[in-house]
Each structure stands twice: as structure tokens, then as C-alpha cells.
């Protein structure tokens, strides 16, 4: 159920998901991320064997091909900054949305490149570089696109700087909890989250798990990820890997950190 105008309408076309709400302020952990004011956010599916590194150019090409060069459902010409854009190896046909209260969330989820965090690490060393095996680049499987869990979440409430940053953290926490329950890992090596709010909306001072915005975000992220995972693995030979060893790509953080007591002053 919703207690406000739902906003954040999602549209899929030619491998691109566009999430619209005019005048939204977004905070993104994805490529070229950070805080921007834009009328929309994107999630773009990349093909198997994708190796492009000119990400902004590639995204522009995909948006033009999909006919998303102009705002849809908003006020033309009101975009003031480049919209946040995420990239995924999951087919956009598998994207799912969920709404609760003032919050809407969209997710794409595939687990070909799990990132495990064992609580009893065997010890080891930090990776020396980012490899294809870690990033999931060059993925090939029986399902079109198989890696990355991306989440775009937005509230119609107006948030302060700290509350927006915390909304992104709450969404990431909900993603990890949902994936741990279903797959045994908290995420993949390429996950990203975009969180948005309406600066003109009714103010909400906090977004923690006990607040209406935080609780709604947790529920939306959980349901959207579960539904996307089900859609992604339904009707194909691939399954959620039982472990990092069983996955096509993936990492396990077995290195141990040194624990110390902070100095007294």
C-alpha cells in the first residue's frame, strides 16, 4: 500500500530500464557516481563478452538506441545534471519493482560472480589487481547476462544530506540480508545502489530501519530482489551457485585484517 503519490515510474526498452521522477536528487555508488539532480536514473544491460571501458559514451549510445534521449513522464528540459546510470549483466527483462509507503525500488539480480565474506577466514592476501574473474567481465552462460545486483530506490519524501546517504546504506543492507538468505553470500563483485529523494516532498528527518522511509525501503528492496532473482533463473539451465567455487566467477575475502585498540588521549 502507498500513503503518497508513488512516483518513480519504471519503463523498459531495448535493454534499458529508466526510472522517472522530475527534479529528483540522487546519490549513486555506481560508475561516475555521487550526488546529482536529474529527472531519471538508468539501469543498462550489457551483452555477454562486453569489454567497453568508455562507460559514459557507451551509456549514451544505448540510451539513444532505446529512444530515451528525451525525458519520459517528466518535464522536458528540466534535467540539470547527467542522470546516474548503472550497468548490469542481467537482462532488463528480469527487472522487478516494488512499492511500499513513500518508497519505490527496482532491482536486477544475478549471481554468477558472488562475493563471499567468511566469518572464519583462512588467511591470505589482498588482490593485486582487478581481474575479469573478479569483475565478471566476459560472462558467458545459458542465460543472457548473469551477474550483478543493482538497486534503484527512491522516496517521495524530502531528505537531508545525511538521511539520503543513510537511505543508500539501508538499501545496501537490505540487499545483503536478502541475498544472504537466498544465496548464502551478501552480494556480487559488481553490485551498485542508487538512492533518490524528492527535494520538494514532505520532509523526513531520518531514514533508519525503524522509520517509515527506512522500513519501506527494506521491504521494497527485499521484494524486488527476490522477484528479480526468481525471474532471472526461471526457465534456464543456470542456477544460483551453491558456493564461490561453484560459480563461474567470484571472490571470497579470506584475508585477515589486523585488529587494534585506538589510542587514548
Higher pLDDT, 229 or 5: 229
**pLDDT 10s digits, 210-230:** 999 999 999 999 999 999 999
Question: Mean pLDDT of all residues in the chain?
Answer: 87
| Percent of all residues in the chain with a pLDDT value above 90, rounded to a whole number | 71
Return the bridge partners of 124, or none: none
pLDDT tops 90 at residue 157: yes
- Say how far apart CA 76 and CA 70 lie, in whole Å: 7
**pTM to 2 decimal places:** 0.89
228/147: higher pLDDT: 228
Highest-scoring range by mean pLDDT, 44-48, 104-108, 128-132: 104-108
Q: Looking at the predicted structure, is the pLDDT value of residue 19 above 90?
A: yes
> Mean per-residue pLDDT for 79-98?
90
> Contact, 167 vs 175, CB < 8 A?
no
The pLDDT score that the predictor gives to residue 129 is: 63
pLDDT per residue as tens digits for the range 162-207: 999 999 999 999 999 999 999 999 999 999 999 999 999 999 999 9
Cα separation, 251 vs 187, whole angstroms: 10
How far is residue 116's CA from residue 139's CA, in Å, rounded to a whole number?
19
Q: What is the pLDDT averaged over residues 59-86?
A: 76
Amino acid at each position: 500500500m502507498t500513503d503518497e503519490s508513488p512516483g518513480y515510474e519504471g519503463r523498459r526498452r531495448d535493454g534499458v530500464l529508466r526510472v522517472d521522477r522530475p527534479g529528483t536528487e540522487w546519490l549513486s555508488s555506481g560508475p561516475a557516481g555521487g550526488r546529482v539532480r536529474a529527472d531519471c536514473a538508468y539501469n543498462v544491460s550489457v551483452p555477454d563478452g562486453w569489454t567497453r571501458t568508455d562507460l559514459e559514451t557507451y551509456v549514451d549510445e544505448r540510451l539513444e538506441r532505446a529512444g530515451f534521449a528525451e525525458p519520459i513522464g517528466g518535464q522536458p528540459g528540466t534535467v540539470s545534471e547527467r542522470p546516474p546510470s548503472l550497468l548490469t549483466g542481467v537482462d532488463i527483462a528480469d527487472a522487478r519493482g516494488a512499492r511500499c509507503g513513500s518508497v519505490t525500488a527496482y532491482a536486477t539480480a544475478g549471481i554468477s560472480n558472488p562475493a563471499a565474506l567468511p566469518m572464519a577466514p583462512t588467511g591470505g592476501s589482498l588482490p593485486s589487481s582487478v581481474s575479469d574473474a573478479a569483475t565478471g567481465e566476459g560472462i558467458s552462460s545459458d542465460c543472457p547476462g548473469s551477474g550483478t545486483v543493482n538497486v534503484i530506490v527512491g522516496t517521495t519524501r524530502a531528505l537531508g544530506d545525511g538521511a539520503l546517504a543513510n537511505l543508500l546504506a539501508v538499501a545496501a543492507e537490505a540487499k545483503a540480508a536478502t541475498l544472504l538468505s537466498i544465496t548464502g553470500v551478501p552480494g556480487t563483485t559488481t553490485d551498485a545502489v542508487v538512492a533518490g529523494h524528492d527535494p520538494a516532498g514532505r520532509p523526513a528527518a531520518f531514514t533508519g530501519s525503524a522509520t517509515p522511509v527506512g522500513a519501506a525501503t527494506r521491504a521494497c528492496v527485499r521484494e524486488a530482489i527476490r522477484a528479480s532473482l526468481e525471474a532471472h533463473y526461471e526457465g534456464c539451465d543456470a542456477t544460483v551457485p551453491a558456493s564461490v567455487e561453484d560459480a563461474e566467477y567470484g571472490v571470497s575475502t579470506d584475508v585477515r585484517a589486523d585488529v587494534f585498540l585506538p589510542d587514548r588521549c
